[in-house]
Amino acid sequence: MAEPILSVRGLETYFRPDEGIVRAVDGASFDLYPGRTLGIVGESGCGKSVTARSILRIVERPGKVERGEVLLRRSDGRVVDLVTIDAQGAGMRDIRGGEIGYVFQEPMSSLSSFHTIGNQVIEAIRLHRAVSAKDARARAIELLQLVGIPRPEQRIDSYSFELSGGLRQRVMIALALAAEPRILIADEPTTALDVTTQAQILELIRKIQAERNLAVILITHDMGVIAEMADAVSVMYLGKVVESGPVDTIFHAPRHPYTQALLRSIPSVLAEPRSRLATIAGGIQHPYARPPGCPFHPRCQSFMPGVCDRNAPPVTKLDAEHEVRCFLYGAPARSAT
């Protein structure tokens, strides 16, 4: 396999409000390869979006990347650690959009209501490319056409509030691709869209990825989207990657109890009529009251007293590509039994 284009190692991002410390990302690690899609999945509040924002160094205060590495292999072959670059400096601004494009979760709040969509796409182009206003406008029309916006010559002068949710999401993708980045991070790109539009947006991302050999990080809580789009999966819970591996392995041979519970909660066409959906007991703990030991143990059906509630489980490598963070597969669990 080729060298990873992006490697995240031991990433920790904390928020420090007056009430205490929130460990939003607590030691996340994963690799992203050219032309491949990494799906990051988990319930709301598990740290998926903060992980993506930490990569681009756009975490809002009082959040801060405390430690870890975000190693980006640039187009010239150099490997740079984004954690060590000034978040407000020209170097990081060049990477945002130039090397890594970002599709934000909510396009209505991410797009300006006071500027046309064309002005926003043109600004993104001219920020990274030395082109005239005329050439930038022509390129913006090409991008709007690429993402499937009808009549782009007219739509370029529209405002975001004049567009449907699906069209706004397509504009967000056009903005992310304006400077031809090699990595695309899509944060819940199908949220609040109807099923038909969701399928169109996912197909659009797949099509552009194939044409440009894009590396894609797809953040979602929808396991169905992960099954359709991802090559590899990282399952997050309370800021930690609790299981990672190829998509087929995660769906057909999940090992972590949280991954298994997520898969059980997916509705099935084979289920008995009027049968109740499986749920995960309890809820995500309050950020100021994280449980000791394994963060999932208060909700885990395989909880082992004296083991899971005392120590944080180490990462266990099950094979070359499959890792799990659980005492069921480590030496402490065997000695406890």
For residues 190 and 221, is the Cβ–Cβ distance under 8 A? no
| The last residue of a domain, from among 181, 209, 240 | 181
Does a structural domain hold residue 173?
A: yes
Q: What is the pLDDT of residues 290-312, one digit of tens each?
A: 889 999 999 999 999 999 999 99
Q: What is the pLDDT of residues 39-51, one digit of tens each?
A: 999 998 899 999 9
Counting the structural domains of the chain, the total is: 2
Residue 337 in this model has a pLDDT that exceeds 60: no
Does a structural domain hold residue 115?
A: yes
Residue 283 in this model has a pLDDT that exceeds 90: no
Task: Let me know the angle formed at the C-alpha of 184 by 181 and 189, rounded to the nearest 5 degrees.
Answer: 140
Higher-confidence residue of 273 and 222: namely: 222
Does a structural domain hold residue 153?
A: yes
pLDDT score of 331:
54
The single-letter code of the amino acid at 20 is G
Does a structural domain hold residue 121?
A: yes
| Token digits of residue 268 | 């099935």
| The last residue of a domain, from among 181, 201, 218 | 181
Query: What does the DSSP assignment read for 96-145?
Result: HHHTEEEE-S-HHHHS-SSSBHHHHHHHHHHHHS---HHHHHHHHHHHHH
| The last residue of a domain, from among 134, 160, 181 | 181
Does a structural domain hold residue 48?
A: no
- Domain limits at 285? 254-268+276-336
Q: How confident is the model at residue 335 (pLDDT cuts 50, 70, 90)?
A: very low
Does a structural domain hold residue 161?
A: yes
- Category of 160 on φ-ψ map: left (φ > 0), alpha (ψ -120 to 50) or beta: alpha
Residue 191 in this model has a pLDDT that exceeds 80: no
Does a structural domain hold residue 307?
A: yes
Task: Identify the weakest region by mean pLDDT among 20-24, 215-219, 327-331.
Answer: 327-331
pLDDT score of 284:
84
Cα–chain center distance at 132: 34
Measured CA to CA, the distance from residue 153 to residue 136 in angstroms comes to 13
pLDDT score of 1:
56
Q: How confident is the model at residue 334 (pLDDT cuts 50, 70, 90)?
A: very low
Does a structural domain hold residue 209?
A: no
* pLDDT above 70 as % of the chain: 96
Mean pLDDT to the nearest integer, 213-241: 94
pLDDT score of 295:
92
Q: What is the mean pLDDT of the chain?
A: 90
* pLDDT above 90 as % of the chain: 68
Bridge partners, residue 71, by sequence: 7, 81
Q: What is the pLDDT of residues 65-116, one digit of tens each?
A: 999 999 999 888 899 999 999 999 999 999 999 999 999 877 777 888 899 9
Higher-confidence residue of 10 and 289: namely: 10
